[in-house]
Amino acid sequence: MSEQAPSIADFLARIALLEAAVAARDTTIAERDEQLRRERAEAALRIQRLQLRIDRFNRKAFGRSSEKLGQMLLELEDLETDFAAGAPYIELPIVADTDKVRVLPVRKLNPNLPRKRILREPSCACCPGCGGALRAMGEDSDEMLDLVVQAWQVIETVRPKYSCRTCDKIIQAPAPIKAIARGKLSYAALAHIMMAKWGYHLPCYRQTQMMAAKGVDIERSTLARSAGYAAALLDPIYNRIREIGRTRTKIHTDDTRLPILAPGTGKTHKGALWVYVADDRNSGSQEPPIAWYRATMGRAGESVMTELAGFAGTLQADGFSGYNQIYKGGAIREAACLAHLRRKIFDVHDSQPTELSTTAMAGIQAIYRIEEEIRGLPPAERLAARRTRTRPLVRALRRQLMRQAKGLSRHADIAKAFAYGTKRWRAFNRFLYDGQLEPDNLIAERAIRGFTVGRRNWLFSGNFAAAERSAVVLSIIETCKLCGVDAEAYMADVIERIQNDWPASRWDELMPWNWVRRQDMPLPLAA
């Protein structure tokens, strides 16, 4: 008996079931898409909030420690990487800050970089629609940053020999002078190794691994010795920088720990690395900025006294007690760091905000807003603005600190923060009477920050001589950075000139602010 054919009602029932299944699937997909969209939107907003916080930390007086900033940058990089991998086509929203609306800028690539122009013409020579002739009416251009892969090469110097047919005298061109006798590294290679070691904080063993991946087989000890020999050639430049720096009328200083290995004991000394910066560009000065470092076996004020022997002027520093003996002679005046006072108050305000801490923070913030407006003006104009606008704010802050501190326990955190300010209030006020001074010591802190971040890549300095060598190269790199000079190209050129008997009477011509890149020097390659 044959089966009965499906009726129209059966077909309609099946269609209804299929439509219900499709609708359920569409609903599930829509719900998943909505959930995914919300997650991506939340991630985008979190990225923006982190970026806004980083912008605040980068402002001149509103930053936490560099370690906290580094952690936030790492978190931001991971979030941006994950976000872009999942939804590269979604644009980040615009988030309103408390002060302004942050609009994502269209960034232009550095116009000084070498450029390769690629012209893309249409595939047809005439109009594809009517066959008419084409005429130029403009062009659209787009820029992308490309990578020129760094390649190691061998420079083979050949010196043919000739003999005289008459007297048999042998004629040959002299051998070029090397940075290291019988060395196998060019000046450019040595500068690259020094920049990687001290500028980017890559230990030599990591550099050998990177070079091995490019087919270069070289021992770590060879790199270390070569970098030391080449760095020694920079001693005259370093000494001249220190000499010029101590003739300035204002110097910023700061220090950080520098563990130094004690040979044969397996222990480390509590060494310190000090930075000294002479940079008056914020007050309109045309003098070139200078930075130099000094390594010491301990952290004591005598180290600064020895380094600044003969210096007369203002020393901008933090509240380290070791500086007190420096100010006793009267030749060196103390200028305190308002950023340190703000951080102490902010640490309390961040965990336990009160009306008192909020008012103090607002007062300091108002002072820094004025400083942003007058940055780069001559000292006289800066001083006039501070007298009329900043001084009333500072006096109001002083009255608040004195009045409120009386009703607080001296063991309270906010009381300790206020006591830090009232104890050295005269030094905090110094910038109100000298337009050349800064309200804080962030100039020196920025110069020491790179070292403190790079210190994570190594445990200690092998000996005190190595610590001193690090101070020399760091001084050259930081001064080049302040002067807007390519440090790697500068070191390659200068060590070559010094090795070729550059006269000592012309050291000033080799200073980073006077150095001019030679036309025959190759362009820097990507690292």
Query: What pLDDT shows up at residue 485?
Result: 94
Residues sharing a CB contact under 8 Å with residue 18, sequence separation 6 or more, in sequence order: none
Q: How confident is the model at residue 525 (pLDDT cuts 50, 70, 90)?
A: very low
Q: How confident is the model at residue 139 (pLDDT cuts 50, 70, 90)?
A: confident
Q: What is the pLDDT of residues 49-95, one digit of tens each?
A: 676 666 656 654 444 454 555 566 656 666 656 555 555 444 444 44
Is residue 198 a contact partner of residue 477, using CB atoms and an 8 Å limit?
A: yes
148 φ/ψ sector (left φ>0, alpha ψ -120 to 50, else beta): beta
- Between the CA of residue 455 and those of 200, 209, 405, what are the distances in Å? 10, 20, 39
Query: 136-150, 152-166, 204-218, 247-261 — which is least confidently predicted?
Result: 136-150
Rounded Cα distance between 111 and 515, Å, is 21
Percentage with pLDDT > 70 across the chain: 83
Reduced to 3 states (helix: H, G, I; strand: E, B; else coil), residue 315 is: strand
Among all chains, which residue has been given the structure tokens 């914020």? 282
Q: What is the pLDDT of residues 194-231, one digit of tens each?
A: 999 999 999 888 999 999 988 888 888 888 889 999 99
Is residue 345 a contact partner of residue 357, using CB atoms and an 8 Å limit?
A: yes
- What string of DSSP letters covers 489-502? HHHHHHHHHHHTT-
Query: What pLDDT shows up at residue 527?
Result: 42
Rounded Cα distance between 157 and 122, Å, is 48
Local structure of residue 390 (DSSP, 8 states): I
- Between the CA of residue 130 and those of 125, 133, 137, 139, 242, what are the distances in Å? 12, 9, 18, 22, 75
Rounded Cα distance between 47 and 79, Å, is 7
AA letter at 119: L
φ, ψ dihedrals at 269, nearest 5°: -80, 150
> Chain-wide mean pLDDT for the chain?
82
**Most confident residue range from 83-87, 415-419, 480-484:** 480-484
Helix ranges (H only) for 248-389 are 301-307, 324-327, 338-351, 355-374, 379-385
Percentage with pLDDT > 90 across the chain: 34
Strands lying side by side in the sheet with 313-316: 290-296, 267-278, 250-262, 313-316, 332-335
Local structure of residue 323 (DSSP, 8 states): G
In this prediction the pTM is: 0.75
Local structure of residue 167 (DSSP, 8 states): T
CA 116 to chain centre: 29
CA 101 to chain centre: 26
CA 347 to chain centre: 24
Q: What is the CA radius of gyration of the chain?
A: 32
Q: How confident is the model at residue 34 (pLDDT cuts 50, 70, 90)?
A: confident
Among all chains, which residue has been given the structure tokens 């990487």? 81
Tally of CB atoms within 10 A around 408: 15
